[in-house]
Amino acid sequence: MIQQKLEVRFEKTEALRFISHHDLMRAFQRAVRRAGLPVRLTEGFNPRPRIVFPVALEVGVASLDEATEIELTQCLTTQEVAQRLSSALPPGLVLKTVKDLPPYRTAQTPVRLIYRLHLPEAGIQARAQDVARLLAATTLPFARPREKSVQNVDLRPALLEASLEASGDLLIAVRPGPRGSARPLEVLSVLLQAPLEKLKHVRVTKLRMDLQLPPERQLPAH
């Protein structure tokens, strides 16, 4: 039975940008064990700690704002959890905050992801008029390569915002959906009308992830 549910916010630094999502999950599972947290386990023949990531972070992307949800069988203060978990995380994962969540089994839903694409350091210059044209478009078709096929998708419903900073970096905000989201380099590919393969060297950093409880689980306003 869930006694406590926590949201843990953390950074995945540049040093770990190329680890996979599965490696990230394993790192948190090991850290929770080292921290001695009373984590709730899954049922079945191979029980695992109940640690849920609302959305997977792409390989090659660093993040200043990642989140995971942890279910506990005993109640602890968020300060104690933060202290124990912070000392158990491996180098490259930096704890930011720990907060209590309502003890529902349903995980929070990601509603907004904000990314920075570091264009000048990659030798790429984008134009403000092209960003405006991107936002004005009603559809943004993209041929997403798969292992043995190509998936034709429309990136426009997932693209919330796009803007150029004075530095030349591109900021984009996307909305994840049931069928995935618009990936940062895919948006850049459409913006520049350049093949995705030629943009793999562009460094991407996730700046923020906004989450919300599913509508049926939101708490009443006070």
Residues 101 and 135 in one domain: no
In a domain, 79, yes or no: yes
Q: How many other β-carbons are positioned within 10 Å of the β-carbon of residue 215?
A: 7
Q: How many other β-carbons are positioned within 10 Å of the β-carbon of residue 133?
A: 11
The per-residue pLDDT for 162 is 97
- Closest to 6 measured CA to CA, from 79, 100, 72, 83: 100
Q: Where are the beta strands (DSSP E) in 13-146?
A: 51-52, 61-72, 93-101, 109-118, 141-145
Q: Which residues contact 166 (CB under 8 A, 6 or more apart)?
A: none
| Number of domains making up the chain | 2
What is the residue-averaged pLDDT of the chain? 91
Residue with tokens 């930011």: 96
- The DSSP 8-state label assigned to residue 151 in this structure reads E
Distance of alpha carbon 122 from alpha carbon 2, whole angstroms? 47
Range of the domain at 33: 4-107
Distance of alpha carbon 50 from alpha carbon 47, whole angstroms? 9
The per-residue pLDDT for 38 is 94
| For helices 21-35 and 78-88, angle between their N-to-C axes, nearest 10 degrees | 120
Q: Which residues contact 133 (CB under 8 A, 6 or more apart)?
A: none
Q: How many other β-carbons are positioned within 10 Å of the β-carbon of residue 10?
A: 23
For the stretch 113-171, pLDDT in tens is: 999 999 999 999 999 999 999 999 999 999 988 878 888 999 999 999 999 999 999 99
Residues 98 and 42 in one domain: yes
In a domain, 81, yes or no: yes
pLDDT bucket at 215, cuts 50 / 70 / 90: low
Residues 17 and 65 in one domain: yes
Distance of alpha carbon 32 from alpha carbon 90, whole angstroms? 11
Residues 21 and 80 in one domain: yes
